[in-house]
Amino acid sequence: MDFEAMKTFVAVVDQQSFTKASKMLNLSQPTVSFHIKNLEKYFEADLIDRSPKRFIVTQTGELVYQRSRQILGLIDKTKAEVLEFHKQLRGKLHIGASYTVGEYILPTVLKKFDHYYPAIDLEVQIANTEHINRAIQLHELDIGLVEGQVNHQGLRSEPFLEDEMVVIVPEDHPLRKESSITFQQLQDQTWITREGGSGTRAVLDSMLESYNIRPQKLITIGSNHGVVQAVKEGLGLSLISKTVVEHTAAEPLIMNLPYIKTTSRYFSLVMPTNEEEISKNVQLFVKQVKDLYRLSGK
Protein backbone atom coordinates (compact mmCIF):
# COMPACT_ATOMS: atom_id res chain seq x y z
CA MET A 1 0.00 0.00 0.00
CA ASP A 2 1.31 3.44 -0.99
CA PHE A 3 0.68 5.62 2.06
CA GLU A 4 1.82 8.75 0.21
CA ALA A 5 -0.90 8.12 -2.35
CA MET A 6 -3.39 7.68 0.46
CA LYS A 7 -2.28 10.96 2.05
CA THR A 8 -2.57 12.70 -1.32
CA PHE A 9 -6.09 11.32 -1.87
CA VAL A 10 -7.26 12.59 1.53
CA ALA A 11 -5.84 16.04 0.74
CA VAL A 12 -7.57 16.12 -2.66
CA VAL A 13 -10.94 15.24 -1.11
CA ASP A 14 -10.49 17.69 1.77
CA GLN A 15 -9.57 20.50 -0.63
CA GLN A 16 -12.09 19.40 -3.29
CA SER A 17 -9.40 20.21 -5.82
CA PHE A 18 -6.30 18.63 -7.36
CA THR A 19 -4.71 22.06 -7.75
CA LYS A 20 -5.25 23.12 -4.12
CA ALA A 21 -4.04 19.75 -2.88
CA SER A 22 -0.85 19.99 -4.94
CA LYS A 23 -0.09 23.41 -3.43
CA MET A 24 -0.83 22.22 0.10
CA LEU A 25 1.40 19.15 -0.27
CA ASN A 26 4.04 21.01 -2.28
CA LEU A 27 3.71 18.47 -5.12
CA SER A 28 3.28 19.00 -8.83
CA GLN A 29 -0.22 18.47 -10.16
CA PRO A 30 0.90 15.53 -12.37
CA THR A 31 2.34 13.86 -9.23
CA VAL A 32 -0.97 14.31 -7.41
CA SER A 33 -2.84 12.78 -10.37
CA PHE A 34 -0.33 9.92 -10.50
CA HIS A 35 -0.91 9.13 -6.82
CA ILE A 36 -4.68 9.07 -7.27
CA LYS A 37 -4.42 6.81 -10.33
CA ASN A 38 -2.19 4.41 -8.40
CA LEU A 39 -4.72 4.26 -5.61
CA GLU A 40 -7.56 3.61 -8.07
CA LYS A 41 -5.45 0.89 -9.67
CA TYR A 42 -4.88 -0.70 -6.28
CA PHE A 43 -8.60 -0.72 -5.41
CA GLU A 44 -9.65 -1.44 -9.01
CA ALA A 45 -12.28 1.29 -8.87
CA ASP A 46 -12.78 4.96 -9.68
CA LEU A 47 -12.49 7.08 -6.55
CA ILE A 48 -13.23 10.50 -8.03
CA ASP A 49 -15.56 11.54 -10.86
CA ARG A 50 -13.29 13.78 -12.94
CA SER A 51 -15.98 15.56 -14.95
CA PRO A 52 -14.70 18.97 -16.13
CA LYS A 53 -17.39 21.01 -14.36
CA ARG A 54 -17.68 19.14 -11.09
CA PHE A 55 -15.74 17.33 -8.38
CA ILE A 56 -17.56 14.29 -7.03
CA VAL A 57 -16.19 11.54 -4.82
CA THR A 58 -17.66 8.17 -5.78
CA GLN A 59 -19.24 5.86 -3.18
CA THR A 60 -16.10 3.72 -3.28
CA GLY A 61 -14.02 6.87 -2.97
CA GLU A 62 -15.95 7.94 0.14
CA LEU A 63 -15.27 4.56 1.76
CA VAL A 64 -11.56 4.73 0.87
CA TYR A 65 -11.43 8.33 2.14
CA GLN A 66 -12.85 7.43 5.56
CA ARG A 67 -10.59 4.41 5.95
CA SER A 68 -7.56 6.38 4.74
CA ARG A 69 -8.11 9.00 7.43
CA GLN A 70 -8.27 6.25 10.04
CA ILE A 71 -5.15 4.51 8.73
CA LEU A 72 -3.14 7.74 8.51
CA GLY A 73 -4.26 8.63 12.02
CA LEU A 74 -3.07 5.23 13.27
CA ILE A 75 0.27 5.68 11.51
CA ASP A 76 0.79 9.06 13.19
CA LYS A 77 -0.19 7.55 16.52
CA THR A 78 2.23 4.65 15.99
CA LYS A 79 5.05 7.06 15.14
CA ALA A 80 4.32 8.98 18.34
CA GLU A 81 4.34 5.74 20.35
CA VAL A 82 7.68 4.66 18.86
CA LEU A 83 9.11 8.07 19.73
CA GLU A 84 7.62 7.73 23.17
CA PHE A 85 9.26 4.29 23.59
CA HIS A 86 12.69 5.53 22.61
CA LYS A 87 12.68 9.01 24.08
CA GLN A 88 10.37 8.54 27.08
CA LEU A 89 7.48 10.95 27.56
CA ARG A 90 8.02 13.06 24.48
CA GLY A 91 6.04 13.45 21.30
CA LYS A 92 2.69 15.15 20.80
CA LEU A 93 -0.71 14.75 22.43
CA HIS A 94 -3.74 15.64 20.31
CA ILE A 95 -6.57 16.69 22.62
CA GLY A 96 -10.13 17.50 21.63
CA ALA A 97 -12.63 19.33 23.84
CA SER A 98 -16.19 20.50 23.47
CA TYR A 99 -16.69 24.24 23.89
CA THR A 100 -17.70 24.39 27.56
CA VAL A 101 -14.90 22.08 28.67
CA GLY A 102 -12.33 23.54 26.29
CA GLU A 103 -12.97 27.15 27.24
CA TYR A 104 -13.35 26.85 31.00
CA ILE A 105 -12.05 23.50 32.32
CA LEU A 106 -9.25 22.34 30.01
CA PRO A 107 -6.81 25.26 30.57
CA THR A 108 -6.37 24.24 34.22
CA VAL A 109 -5.64 20.66 33.19
CA LEU A 110 -3.16 21.77 30.51
CA LYS A 111 -1.24 23.97 32.93
CA LYS A 112 -0.85 21.10 35.40
CA PHE A 113 0.04 18.55 32.73
CA ASP A 114 2.58 20.83 31.08
CA HIS A 115 4.24 21.43 34.45
CA TYR A 116 4.85 17.71 34.99
CA TYR A 117 5.53 16.74 31.35
CA PRO A 118 7.09 19.76 29.60
CA ALA A 119 8.61 17.67 26.78
CA ILE A 120 5.18 16.58 25.50
CA ASP A 121 3.80 18.99 22.90
CA LEU A 122 0.09 19.69 23.29
CA GLU A 123 -2.26 20.36 20.40
CA VAL A 124 -5.88 21.23 21.25
CA GLN A 125 -8.94 21.29 19.02
CA ILE A 126 -12.16 22.84 20.34
CA ALA A 127 -15.45 21.97 18.63
CA ASN A 128 -18.85 20.61 19.60
CA THR A 129 -19.26 17.19 21.21
CA GLU A 130 -20.31 15.39 18.02
CA HIS A 131 -17.27 16.68 16.10
CA ILE A 132 -14.82 15.71 18.86
CA ASN A 133 -16.25 12.20 19.19
CA ARG A 134 -16.02 11.70 15.43
CA ALA A 135 -12.41 12.93 15.31
CA ILE A 136 -11.37 10.44 18.02
CA GLN A 137 -13.14 7.68 16.14
CA LEU A 138 -11.12 8.59 13.03
CA HIS A 139 -7.88 8.71 15.07
CA GLU A 140 -7.43 12.41 14.34
CA LEU A 141 -7.44 13.06 18.10
CA ASP A 142 -5.94 10.97 20.91
CA ILE A 143 -8.45 11.86 23.63
CA GLY A 144 -11.45 14.09 24.18
CA LEU A 145 -13.15 15.93 27.01
CA VAL A 146 -16.80 16.52 26.23
CA GLU A 147 -20.24 17.19 27.60
CA GLY A 148 -23.16 15.09 26.47
CA GLN A 149 -23.53 11.48 25.41
CA VAL A 150 -20.99 9.31 23.63
CA ASN A 151 -22.66 6.72 21.41
CA HIS A 152 -20.00 6.23 18.75
CA GLN A 153 -18.77 2.76 17.89
CA GLY A 154 -15.28 2.04 19.19
CA LEU A 155 -15.35 4.76 21.83
CA ARG A 156 -15.85 4.70 25.58
CA SER A 157 -16.42 7.54 28.02
CA GLU A 158 -15.68 8.10 31.68
CA PRO A 159 -17.21 11.00 33.67
CA PHE A 160 -14.80 13.17 35.62
CA LEU A 161 -16.75 16.27 36.67
CA GLU A 162 -20.37 17.11 37.43
CA ASP A 163 -21.78 20.25 35.84
CA GLU A 164 -24.98 21.99 36.91
CA MET A 165 -27.29 23.43 34.27
CA VAL A 166 -29.15 26.67 35.05
CA VAL A 167 -31.77 28.84 33.37
CA ILE A 168 -30.69 32.40 32.67
CA VAL A 169 -33.22 35.17 32.01
CA PRO A 170 -32.62 38.78 30.89
CA GLU A 171 -32.66 41.27 33.77
CA ASP A 172 -35.56 43.24 32.27
CA HIS A 173 -37.62 40.22 31.15
CA PRO A 174 -41.37 40.34 31.97
CA LEU A 175 -41.09 37.03 33.89
CA ARG A 176 -38.98 38.78 36.53
CA LYS A 177 -41.84 41.16 37.29
CA GLU A 178 -44.28 38.35 38.08
CA SER A 179 -44.80 37.43 41.73
CA SER A 180 -46.18 34.05 40.67
CA ILE A 181 -45.38 32.54 37.26
CA THR A 182 -47.96 30.29 35.64
CA PHE A 183 -47.21 27.35 33.35
CA GLN A 184 -48.84 29.23 30.49
CA GLN A 185 -46.44 32.16 30.93
CA LEU A 186 -43.52 29.81 30.24
CA GLN A 187 -44.93 29.01 26.82
CA ASP A 188 -44.09 30.90 23.63
CA GLN A 189 -40.84 32.34 24.92
CA THR A 190 -37.72 32.87 22.83
CA TRP A 191 -34.89 30.51 23.83
CA ILE A 192 -31.23 31.04 22.94
CA THR A 193 -29.48 27.75 22.23
CA ARG A 194 -26.25 26.22 21.01
CA GLU A 195 -25.98 24.43 17.66
CA GLY A 196 -27.02 20.85 16.92
CA GLY A 197 -24.33 18.37 17.97
CA SER A 198 -23.59 20.37 21.13
CA GLY A 199 -24.09 18.69 24.50
CA THR A 200 -25.68 21.90 25.80
CA ARG A 201 -28.21 21.86 22.94
CA ALA A 202 -29.10 18.23 23.70
CA VAL A 203 -29.87 19.11 27.35
CA LEU A 204 -32.04 22.09 26.34
CA ASP A 205 -33.99 20.04 23.79
CA SER A 206 -34.57 17.32 26.40
CA MET A 207 -35.71 19.85 29.00
CA LEU A 208 -38.20 21.54 26.66
CA GLU A 209 -39.65 18.19 25.65
CA SER A 210 -39.75 16.74 29.19
CA TYR A 211 -41.59 19.72 30.68
CA ASN A 212 -43.80 20.39 27.65
CA ILE A 213 -42.36 23.85 27.15
CA ARG A 214 -43.31 25.24 23.74
CA PRO A 215 -40.80 27.81 22.44
CA GLN A 216 -42.06 30.62 20.28
CA LYS A 217 -38.66 30.77 18.65
CA LEU A 218 -35.20 29.18 18.92
CA ILE A 219 -32.15 31.32 18.21
CA THR A 220 -29.00 29.26 17.61
CA ILE A 221 -25.56 30.67 18.47
CA GLY A 222 -22.39 28.62 18.06
CA SER A 223 -20.57 29.72 21.22
CA ASN A 224 -21.24 29.83 24.96
CA HIS A 225 -20.13 33.43 25.22
CA GLY A 226 -22.49 34.38 22.41
CA VAL A 227 -25.42 32.70 24.15
CA VAL A 228 -24.76 34.54 27.42
CA GLN A 229 -24.32 37.88 25.64
CA ALA A 230 -27.60 37.37 23.79
CA VAL A 231 -29.41 36.81 27.08
CA LYS A 232 -27.71 39.88 28.58
CA GLU A 233 -29.01 41.88 25.61
CA GLY A 234 -32.55 40.69 26.30
CA LEU A 235 -32.89 38.43 23.28
CA GLY A 236 -34.38 35.50 25.19
CA LEU A 237 -33.96 32.79 27.83
CA SER A 238 -31.41 29.99 27.85
CA LEU A 239 -30.41 26.81 29.66
CA ILE A 240 -26.64 26.73 30.03
CA SER A 241 -23.80 25.39 32.13
CA LYS A 242 -23.30 27.09 35.49
CA THR A 243 -19.58 26.85 34.74
CA VAL A 244 -20.11 29.17 31.77
CA VAL A 245 -22.24 31.55 33.83
CA GLU A 246 -19.60 31.80 36.55
CA HIS A 247 -16.85 32.54 34.03
CA THR A 248 -18.85 35.23 32.20
CA ALA A 249 -20.04 37.19 35.26
CA ALA A 250 -23.63 36.27 34.47
CA GLU A 251 -24.75 35.01 37.91
CA PRO A 252 -27.42 37.76 38.23
CA LEU A 253 -29.18 36.25 35.20
CA ILE A 254 -29.82 32.90 36.92
CA MET A 255 -33.51 32.41 37.70
CA ASN A 256 -35.37 29.48 39.20
CA LEU A 257 -38.53 28.96 37.19
CA PRO A 258 -41.51 26.91 38.37
CA TYR A 259 -42.37 23.76 36.40
CA ILE A 260 -38.75 23.53 35.21
CA LYS A 261 -36.41 21.44 37.32
CA THR A 262 -32.83 22.11 36.25
CA THR A 263 -30.49 19.17 36.11
CA SER A 264 -26.85 18.24 36.19
CA ARG A 265 -24.78 16.51 33.55
CA TYR A 266 -21.24 15.21 33.46
CA PHE A 267 -18.13 16.21 31.61
CA SER A 268 -16.49 13.02 30.35
CA LEU A 269 -13.18 11.75 29.05
CA VAL A 270 -13.56 10.04 25.67
CA MET A 271 -11.05 7.55 24.29
CA PRO A 272 -10.90 4.43 22.09
CA THR A 273 -12.39 1.24 23.52
CA ASN A 274 -9.33 -0.69 22.40
CA GLU A 275 -6.71 -0.30 25.14
CA GLU A 276 -3.93 -0.92 22.61
CA GLU A 277 -4.80 2.37 20.91
CA ILE A 278 -4.26 4.37 24.11
CA SER A 279 -0.70 5.71 24.28
CA LYS A 280 1.34 6.28 27.42
CA ASN A 281 0.89 10.04 26.99
CA VAL A 282 -2.88 9.60 26.97
CA GLN A 283 -2.71 7.45 30.09
CA LEU A 284 -0.74 10.18 31.86
CA PHE A 285 -3.23 12.83 30.75
CA VAL A 286 -6.19 10.75 32.00
CA LYS A 287 -4.49 10.33 35.36
CA GLN A 288 -3.89 14.08 35.56
CA VAL A 289 -7.58 14.82 34.93
CA LYS A 290 -8.68 12.28 37.53
CA ASP A 291 -6.25 13.70 40.07
CA LEU A 292 -7.67 17.20 39.54
CA TYR A 293 -11.35 16.27 39.46
CA ARG A 294 -12.80 13.45 41.50
CA LEU A 295 -16.51 14.22 41.01
CA SER A 296 -16.51 16.04 44.32
CA GLY A 297 -16.93 19.50 42.83
CA LYS A 298 -15.26 21.98 40.50
- Average pLDDT, integer, range 202-210: 93
Per-residue burial over 76-105, b = 16 or more CB atoms within 10 Å of its CB, e = otherwise: ebeebbeebeeeeeebbbbbbbbbbbbbbb
Q: Whole-angstrom Cα distance, residue 198 to residue 200? A: 5
With cut-offs at 50, 70 and 90, classify the pLDDT of residue 297: very low
Mean pLDDT of the residues in the chain: 90
Q: What is the pLDDT of residue 1?
A: 64
pLDDT digits (tens, 9 = 90+) for 55-66: 889 999 999 999
What is the CATH T-level fold of the domain 74-161+266-292, as seen in this structure? Answer: D-Maltodextrin-Binding Protein; domain 2 (3.40.190)
The CATH label, of 1.10.10.10, 1.20.1300.10, 3.30.70.120, 3.90.1210.10, for the domain at 3-72 is 1.10.10.10
Could you count the other beta carbons within 10 Å of the beta carbon of residue 298?
Answer: 14
CATH 3.40.630.10 fits 164-265, yes or no: no
Identical fold for domains 74-161+266-292 and 164-265, yes or no, is: yes
Kindly indicate the confidence band of residue 78, based on its pLDDT and cuts at 50, 70 and 90: confident
pTM for the whole structure: 0.65
Q: Which of 9-13, 76-80, 157-161 has the lowest mean pLDDT?
A: 76-80
pLDDT tens per residue across span 229-272: 999 999 999 999 999 999 999 999 999 999 998 888 999 999 99
Sketch the domain layout of the chain as residue ranges: 3-72, 74-161+266-292, 164-265
Whether the per-residue pLDDT at 72 is higher than 50: the answer is yes
